[in-house]
Amino acid sequence: MTVLAAEGVEKRFGRQYALRGVDLEVEAGEFLGLFGPNGAGKSTLLRLLAGLARPTDGTVRVEGRELVPDAVTPRRSLGVVTHRTMLYDGLTARENLRLHARLHGVEAVEARVETLLDRVGLARRGSDSPGSFSHGMRKRLSLARALLHDPPVLLLDEPYAGLDQRAAARLDDLLDAEAAVDRTVVLTSHDFEAGLAHADRVVVLVDGRVELDRPAGDREGFEATYRDLVGLPGGRPADAGGVGGP
Amino acid sequence: MTPRRYLRAVALVAGKDLRAELRTKRVLGASLAFALLVVVAFSFTFVRAVESLRPVAHGALWLSFLFAGTLATTRAAAVEARDGALEGLLLAPVDRSAVYLGKVLSTTLFVAAVELVSLAGVVVFLDYAPPAGALVAVAAVLVLAAAGFAATGVTLSLVASRSGLSGTLVPVLLFPLVVPLLLSGVELTRALVGGRPVGGWARILLGYDAVLLLACALLFEYVVEG
């Protein structure tokens, strides 16, 4: 069953095209890795799928319902983490989660908030402001915020950006857990290692177009194809973390 | 979406602002100090220089309304720009106008609080002593004007922050739009204290409040869309 669909989606900023006729269907339970160089349109596509921006042309559907800005129901099905954590430093971590839980109509708010704080390893810091958290901790709290209402679809925009190895490993564990509960996940990443570790399927965007859509395979094979697609010179060192562009 | 759920969303958004403000004093701290400074500066300048302080008191009151109100409004809106906080609210399955109205409600309370303290400052520092009933009515006018001011200020502050415009542009855009509010507020204050009828100006203030609130609520979706 298709839970998330972009049909002929186009996004322009002035005369600049960010997305050009993107068609994409994501099946229930699928873990989709969305890759591409800087400026390829990954984050824009994710914002459109989240309903945070309106396509210039085309349609986004969530569980069959069109995601127009004033559509309330499809937003119940989405959990979204972007590179911005969407947290208030004036509230404690617990208060941030309570606010979003109540806005999402979660029942048994207190129990759910404590469960999520515990799951992301922040139970002991629940009374602190996110302003006092490290980047990794803020990311984890943001993930907890996105999972509060147990959405069937989770959209993650560059969740590994700025995380050290330990924080990235912790995020890996959380994403493994999400994949295990058959949640549909769309993840954008510059980091092949991290992205491919979870993905069932990979899509590559280049200049706002889908240039590759295939099941996830081995990293080496995918990286060679990716290099061809985006015109990267060969012989990049194997330990180069970022493959988002020259 | 049921009316109950809509109102709950409005209250949740306003409530989180009030809770955060109680803790951080980010909005009220600077705005209250600024409002009182305006009143004190008027006091230093005019107390011995003019015979009747009443017009001076009205001037101080509405000037502090304009400047301290702008400061309070832009600071209240700036909280939403930090780390994409507003987008978190926009992802919630609630009508987005409820998010806007919640923001306007909390900002109105902030601006009104600043103006009520200004009014107290005017009473203390500028010997402003109209009858108690008139003073209460002036306070009500300030609160009503604060609502229209907050409705416009929140929208313009969000436009500025989301389009990368400088925050200093907000007053430039805001002041012309709130001229009818200020004009009716000043005239109502004068009429209330002077014991004159207020019907026409009261209708203008209420009508303009309603127009600003409705227009900005309708525009909100376009303001916040990426």
- Concatenating the DSSP letter of every residue in B172-206 gives HHHHHHTHHHHHHHHHHHHHHHHT---HHHHHHHH
pLDDT value at B189 more than 80: yes
Q: Is residue A204 part of a domain?
A: yes
**Nearest C-alpha of chain B: how many angstroms from A35?**
21
Asked whether residue A233 falls in the same domain as residue A173, the answer is yes
Q: Which of A67-81, B54-68, B177-191 has the lowest mean pLDDT?
A: A67-81
Asked whether residue A240 falls in the same domain as residue A165, the answer is yes
Q: Is residue A8 part of a domain?
A: no
Q: Is residue A20 part of a domain?
A: no
Q: Could you report the predicted ipTM of this complex, rounded to two decimals?
A: 0.89
pLDDT value at B164 more than 60: yes
Q: Is residue A13 part of a domain?
A: no
Asked whether residue A126 falls in the same domain as residue A208, the answer is no
Q: Is residue A64 part of a domain?
A: no
A117, A150, A183 — which closes off a domain?
Answer: A150
Q: Which pLDDT score is estimated for A235?
A: 42
Question: Is the distance from CB of B115 to CB of B65 less than 8 angstroms?
Answer: yes
The overall longest dimension of chain B from CA atoms, in Å, is: 60
Q: Which of B17-21, B26-30, B96-100 has the lowest mean pLDDT?
A: B26-30
Those residues with Cβ within 8 angstroms of residue B90's Cβ, 6 or more apart along the chain or in another chain: A51, A52, B96, B99, B224
Residue B90's closest chain A neighbor by CA?
A52
Q: Which pLDDT score is estimated for A232?
A: 72
Asked whether residue A206 falls in the same domain as residue A98, the answer is no
Show residues of chain B in contact with A75, CB under 8 Å.
Answer: 91-93
Long-range contacts of B3-11 (CB under 8 A, 24+ apart): B5/A105, B5/B94, B6/B94, B6/B95, B6/B98, B7/B98, B8/A102, B9/A103, B9/B92, B9/B94, B9/B95, B9/B98, B9/B99, B9/B102, B10/B98, B10/B101, B10/B102, B10/B105, B11/B102
Asked whether residue A172 falls in the same domain as residue A235, the answer is yes
In this complex, is the C-beta atom of A109 within 8 Å of any C-beta atom belonging to chain B? no
A116, A150, A184 — which closes off a domain?
Answer: A150
How many beta-carbon pairs below 8 A join chains A and B?
84
CA torsion, points A221, A227, A228, A229, in degrees to nearest 10?
Answer: 110
Where does the pLDDT of residue B160 fall: very low under 50, low under 70, confident under 90, or very high at 90 and above?
Answer: confident
Asked whether residue A169 falls in the same domain as residue A237, the answer is yes
Q: How far is residue B50's CA from residue B38's CA, in Å, rounded to a whole number? A: 17
Asked whether residue A171 falls in the same domain as residue A243, the answer is yes
Number of domains in chain A: 2
**Nearest C-alpha of chain B: how many angstroms from A43?**
12
Domain of A106? 86-150
Q: How far is residue B43's CA from residue A159's CA, in Å, rounded to a whole number? A: 56
Asked whether residue A41 falls in the same domain as residue A161, the answer is yes
Asked whether residue A214 falls in the same domain as residue A93, the answer is no
Asked whether residue A191 falls in the same domain as residue A206, the answer is yes
Q: Which pLDDT score is estimated for A234?
A: 58
Q: How far is residue A13's CA from residue B222's CA, in Å, rounded to a whole number? A: 15
Asked whether residue A90 falls in the same domain as residue A104, the answer is yes
Q: Is residue A123 part of a domain?
A: yes
Asked whether residue A100 falls in the same domain as residue A111, the answer is yes
A101, A131, A150 — which closes off a domain?
Answer: A150
Those residues with Cβ within 8 angstroms of residue A163's Cβ, 6 or more apart along the chain or in another chain: A135, A136, A139, A171
Q: How far is residue A244's CA from residue A192's CA, in Å, rounded to a whole number? A: 9
Q: Is residue A243 part of a domain?
A: yes
Report the residue from B79, B89, B91 with minimal CB separation from A90. B79
Interchain pair A99, B24: CB under 8 A: no
pLDDT digits (tens, 9 = 90+) for A213-225: 988 877 777 888 8
Q: Which pLDDT score is estimated for A177?
A: 80
Closest CA to A41 of A16, A20, A18: A18
Q: What is the mean pLDDT of residues B191-218?
A: 91
Q: Which of A40-54, A213-227, B5-19, B173-187 has the lowest mean pLDDT?
A: A213-227
> Which segments in chain A show pLDDT lower than 50?
235-246
Q: Is residue A157 part of a domain?
A: yes
